[in-house]
Amino acid sequence: MWLLDQWAERHILDAQRNGEFDSLAGSGKRLELDDDHHVLAELRAGYRLLKNAGCLPPELEQRKQALQLADLLQTVREDDPRFNKLHRQLTLLELKLRQAGLNTDFLHGDYAGKLLNKIKGES
């Protein structure tokens, strides 16, 4: 289980033990996981088809590609001829994401380390 999953699971179990979920609205009712009421009726079939086919909106697809490139760059040495090409591709994707109004801190942050420090501080 990933670090964030463990942290979330621990907090959920603590809340359950403390009874914090006992009086929530909808308690005991079935969850509606495919709630698409916000999508126009004429578009629902198309959206569902794209969703089931695994298609992502362009910004999310670019984010996914940027994460893959960042991971790949960590495995390539700077003196490798591929490094500059991969770095340029990542920089271009990051620029596109920023122009689309998306935050690109996920490419540069040390989230796992910060999260681990937070968890250790709570224990």
Q: Which contacts of 42-45 are long-range, i.e. CB under 8 A and separated by 24 or more positions?
A: none
| DSSP single-letter state for residue 108 | T
Can you list the alpha helix ranges (DSSP code H) found in the chain? 3-17, 41-52, 58-75, 81-99, 111-122
As a whole number, the mean pLDDT across the chain is: 84
**Spatial contact of 92 and 65, defined as CB atoms under 8 Å apart:** no
Per-residue pLDDT tens for 12-65?
999 989 988 888 888 778 877 777 788 888 988 888 898 889 888 787 888 889
pLDDT of residue 69: 92
